[in-house]
């Protein structure tokens, strides 16, 4: 029954056109960025950086490097937007449309319904994260040769060079970690979706908290307290590009993200359980 | 089949349902009447476990809805005034999705119900292409899946044209006759309720002001219809004589307890009033309903 209900939830989710906005935008944005890198001088700073380190530019100006560069802004801005959009819709849109009332005259427990919806949201988040990685690599490969991975993330103090094989592994692991970011932001918007609010409000509330956390985390005064910010733990995927992955930090953040997600789900469940569902 | 015990529901300061007790026996077609805001939908929401009662208990089939939701709602189907569907999915997908919140349902059963409601041939079309009547049929189909014993209909005729209303009425009668369902019908369409229901309850401002068989409701009125030359003068005269307690609509008199038609007529004739017609017609449900929810006008103000 649970699997049938999950399948139905996925049918509902992936039957809607708006579910594909994120996928479509990734296709568009990544294609555009790849074209810009290929046909303009956008790669010059990268080339200079490689040359100053005494590396052969041709070895590292590759599909993997370009795909990883594309990943940074998209993971920071577009991915949160689309997972938040879906997370905010999952309950609130059904309540707004009246289908939630139709569901809740059935003998399904509210907690079970919510769990099915949350899982569907997570599956969407996984699909979107993986699509981001696959599309990025695909489009970068259309315009750039296969080769090593060069990555520079000053904020995380990461400057790394990997041969193609290791680079691909790191790129893949980074996307696995990106799933934690996508699921967590989806879970946050999902929590707000359980309140008696419009779907847009749930999405905006979720995104607002992410952005507020991001802004506070980047204020120098709060540097010592960065551990306390939600977004600090969402950057896990970036650590996968470090020469030596700081697994203790990864473990710490993963534990905290699990805590955040359990909290979001518990708050959502409690609010939803107590709510009156009216027409 | 349904039992509400001293159920109340408060939304902030507003008491939507006030100590409501109600029994819907199995096999009845039960009408729930009341103005907008009388508490009908809130009461139905509590029966379906969508609205939490502030006080009291709701039982369906002997199971308390809040504590034993699965058992209570496993044999319940419901239709709301504006049935909502996933418009981008087909009718078939909608039925499959809704019914699987109750129990796994074989395709053969889905097909049987689609046939029963007359949607065969259109079940694979997206719901957004359905007419209002087709949506109503789809709503009925989802309520009949997987196999309810109780059907709760909250304003099912709302927005339907006269043909649709007639179709709905025939369908409800069929459901009762052919499938033996217990039906709770909340409606503003009093003529429909009159033709369908065997028992009714009337709510006003969250309180139940009447519950009983429809026949009792219709014979309950102690109203006398009179046609006289000067109705206000007749009302004054009869009030002074202690024969009536109220009047309304320029022709209806509420007889005082124990007063018969003969005494009223005699009093009027003895005082020279021109009496053209007197009848103690059985009131329609509408007249009964209005007599319940409207307070009788004071005799002096009656015209």
Domain boundary among B168, B202, B218: B218
Q: What is the pLDDT of residue A255?
A: 95
Does B155 share its domain with B253? no
pLDDT at residue B218 greater than cutoff 70 = no
Does B228 share its domain with B189? no
Q: Give CA angle at B232 (B231, B233), nearest 5°.
A: 90
Residues of chain B with pLDDT > 70: what percent? Answer: 94
**Residues spanned by the domain of B229:** 221-301
pLDDT at residue B278 greater than cutoff 80 = yes
Q: Which residues in chain A have their CB less than 8 angstroms from residue B50's CB?
A: 101, 104-105, 276-278
Does B206 share its domain with B265? no
Measured between alpha carbons, how far is A278 from B21 in angstroms, rounded to an integer?
21
Segment B229-253 mean pLDDT: 87
Does B160 share its domain with B282? no
For residue A194, the distance in angstroms to the closest alpha carbon of chain B comes to 14
For testing the chain B interface, which of A15, A106, A114, A272 should be mutated: the one with the most B CBs within 10 Å? A106
- From first to last of the 279 residues of chain A, give the pLDDT tens digit: 889 999 999 999 999 998 999 999 999 999 999 999 888 888 888 888 888 888 787 788 899 999 999 999 999 889 999 999 999 999 999 999 999 999 999 999 999 999 999 999 999 999 999 999 999 999 999 999 998 999 888 877 888 889 999 999 999 999 999 999 999 999 999 999 999 999 999 999 999 999 999 999 889 888 888 888 999 999 899 999 998 999 999 999 999 999 999 999 999 999 999 999 887
Contact A11 B102 (CB under 8 A): no
How many structural domains is chain B composed of? 2
> Whole-prediction pTM value?
0.85
Residue of B nearest to A17 (CA): B88
Q: What is the pLDDT of residue B129?
A: 94
Element housing B117 (H / E): helix B107-117
Element housing B24 (H / E): strand B14-24
For residue B255, CA distances in Å to B209, B226, B239, B265, B280 come to 20, 12, 10, 12, 11
Contact A12 B97 (CB under 8 A): yes
B59 near B2, Cβ under 8 Å?
yes
Q: What is the pLDDT of residue A40?
A: 87
Q: What is the pLDDT of residue A200?
A: 95
Residue of B nearest to A104 (CA): B50
A265 near A119, Cβ under 8 Å?
no
Element housing A269 (H / E): helix A247-274
Does B49 share its domain with B118? yes
User: Which A residues 107-166 touch B at CB under 8 Å?
Assistant: 107-109, 113
pLDDT at residue B131 greater than cutoff 50 = yes
pLDDT at residue B297 greater than cutoff 70 = no
Contact A8 B96 (CB under 8 A): yes
The pairing of strands B63-64 and B207-213 is unpaired
For testing the chain A interface, which of B14, B36, B101 should be mutated: the one with the most A CBs within 10 Å? B101
Contact B89 A278 (CB under 8 A): no
Q: What is the pLDDT of residue A74?
A: 92
Does B254 share its domain with B150? no
Does B132 share its domain with B259? no
Does B44 share its domain with B187? yes
Taking every pair of Cα atoms in chain A, the longest distance, rounded to a whole number of angstroms, is: 69
pLDDT at residue B98 greater than cutoff 60 = yes
Domain boundary among B158, B185, B218: B218
> Bigger pLDDT: B113 or B290?
B113
Contact A98 B82 (CB under 8 A): yes
pLDDT at residue B270 greater than cutoff 60 = yes
How is chain A split among helix, strand and coil, in percent rounded to 5?
Answer: 80, 5, 15
Q: Which residues in chain A have their CB less than 8 angstroms from residue B83's CB?
A: 98, 102
Residue of A nearest to B96 (CA): A8
Contact B52 A274 (CB under 8 A): yes
Q: Which residues in chain A have their CB less than 8 angstroms from residue B11's CB?
A: 276
Domain boundary among B168, B192, B218: B218
End-to-end CA distance of chain A: 27
CB atoms within 10 A of CB A173: 15
Does the structure's ipTM exceed the value 0.90?
no
A23 near A124, Cβ under 8 Å?
no
Q: What is the pLDDT of residue B283?
A: 67
Q: Which residues in chain B have their CB less than 8 angstroms from residue A17's CB?
A: 88
pLDDT at residue B259 greater than cutoff 90 = no
A98 Ramachandran zone, left/alpha/beta (phi>0; psi -120 to 50): left
Contact A109 B70 (CB under 8 A): yes
Does B193 share its domain with B225? no
Q: What is the pLDDT of residue B215?
A: 74
Taking every pair of Cα atoms in chain B, the longest distance, rounded to a whole number of angstroms, is: 77
* pLDDT averaged over every residue in chain B: 86
pLDDT at residue B301 greater than cutoff 60 = no
CB atoms within 10 A of CB B208: 21
For residue B253, CA distances in Å to A1, A80, A193 come to 61, 71, 56
Q: Which residues in chain B have their CB less than 8 angstroms from residue A113's CB?
A: 101
Measured between alpha carbons, how far is B148 from B14 in angstroms, rounded to an integer?
34
Q: Which two tokens stand for residue A220?
A: 């120098």
Residue B108: phi and psi, rounded to 5, are: -60, -40
Those residues with Cβ within 8 angstroms of residue B294's Cβ, 6 or more apart along the chain or in another chain: B248
Find the CB nearest B45 among A16, A113, A278.
Answer: A278
Contact A107 B102 (CB under 8 A): yes
Does B30 share its domain with B104? yes
CB atoms within 10 A of CB B161: 11
Find the CB nearest A4 among B11, B82, B100.
Answer: B100
Residue B46: phi and psi, rounded to 5, are: -70, -35
What's the pLDDT band for B281 if we cut at 50, 70, 90?
low
CB atoms within 10 A of CB A64: 26
Per-residue pLDDT tens over the stretch B140-182: 999 998 788 999 998 887 777 788 888 888 888 888 888 889 9
CATH number at residue B21: 3.40.50.300
CATH number at residue B285: 3.30.70
Find the CB nearest B50 among A11, A97, A101.
Answer: A101
Does B48 share its domain with B83? yes
Nearest Cα neighbor of A178 from A218, A206, A136, A217 is: A136
Does B142 share its domain with B249? no
Q: What is the pLDDT of residue B171?
A: 86
């Amino acid at each position: 029954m649970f699997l049938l209900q999950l399948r139905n939830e996925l049918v509902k989710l992936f039957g809607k056109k708006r579910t594909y906005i994120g996928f479509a935008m990734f296709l568009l944005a990544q294609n555009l960025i790849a074209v810009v890198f290929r046909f303009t001088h956008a790669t010059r700073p990268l080339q200079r950086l490689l040359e100053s380190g005494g590396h052969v530019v041709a070895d590292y100006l590759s599909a993997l490097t370009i795909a990883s560069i594309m990943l940074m802004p998209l993971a920071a801005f577009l991915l949160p937007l689309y997972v938040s959009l879906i997370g905010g819709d999952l309950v609130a849109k059904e309540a707004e449309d009246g289908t939630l009332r139709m569901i809740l005259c059935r003998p399904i427990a509210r907690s079970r319904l919510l769990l099915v919806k949350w899982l569907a949201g997570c599956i969407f988040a996984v699909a979107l994260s993986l699509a981001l990685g696959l599309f990025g690599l695909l489009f970068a490969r259309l315009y750039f040769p296969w080769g090593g991975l060069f990555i520079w993330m000053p904020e995380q103090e990461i400057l790394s060079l990997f041969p193609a094989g290791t680079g691909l592994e790191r790129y893949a692991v980074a996307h696995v970690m990106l799933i934690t970011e996508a699921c967590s932001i989806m879970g946050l918007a999902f929590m707000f979706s359980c309140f008696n609010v419009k779907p847009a409000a749930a999405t905006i509330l979720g995104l607002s908290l992410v952005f507020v956390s991001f802004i506070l985390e980047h204020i120098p005064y709060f540097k010592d307290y960065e551990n306390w910010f939600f977004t600090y733990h969402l950057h896990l995927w970036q650590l996968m590009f470090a020469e030596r992955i700081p697994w203790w930090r990864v473990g710490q953040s993963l534990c905290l993200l699990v805590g955040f997600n359990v909290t979001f789900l518990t708050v959502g469940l409690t609010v939803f359980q107590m709510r009156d569902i009216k027409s | 089949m349904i039992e509400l015990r001293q159920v109340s529901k408060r939304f902030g300061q507003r008491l939507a349902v006030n100590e409501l007790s109600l029994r819907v026996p199995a096999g009845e077609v039960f009408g729930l009447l009341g103005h907008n805001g009388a508490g009908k939908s809130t009461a139905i929401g509590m029966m379906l476990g969508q609205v939490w009662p502030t006080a009291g208990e709701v039982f369906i089939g002997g199971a308390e809805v809040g504590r034993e939701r699965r058992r209570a709602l496993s044999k319940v189907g419901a239709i709301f005034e504006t049935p909502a569907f996933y418009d981008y999915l087909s009718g078939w997908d909608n039925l499959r999705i809704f019914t699987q919140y109750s129990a796994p349902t074989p395709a053969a059963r889905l097909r049987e119900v689609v046939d029963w409601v007359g949607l065969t041939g259109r079940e694979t079309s997206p719901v957004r292409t359905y007419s209002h009547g087709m949506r109503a049929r789809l709503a009925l189909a989802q309520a009949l899946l997987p196999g309810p014993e109780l059907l709760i209909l909250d304003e099912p005729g709302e927005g339907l044209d006269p043909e649709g209303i007639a179709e709905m009425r025939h369908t409800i009668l069929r459901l009762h006759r052919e499938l033996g369902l217990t039906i709770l019908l909340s409606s503003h369409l009093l003529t429909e309720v009159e033709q369908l229901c065997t028992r009714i309850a009337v709510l006003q401002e969250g309180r139940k002001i009447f519950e009983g068989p429809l026949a009792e409701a219709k014979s309950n009125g102690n109203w006398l219809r009179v046609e006289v030359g000067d109705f206000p003068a007749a009302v004054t005269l009869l009030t002074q004589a202690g024969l009536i307690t109220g009047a309304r609509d320029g022709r209806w008199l509420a007889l005082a307890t124990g007063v018969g038609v003969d005494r009223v007529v005699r009093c009027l004739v003895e005082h020279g009033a021109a009496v053209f017609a007197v009848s103690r017609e059985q009131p329609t449900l509408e007249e009964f309903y209005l007599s319940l929810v409207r307070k009788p006008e004071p005799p002096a103000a009656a015209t």
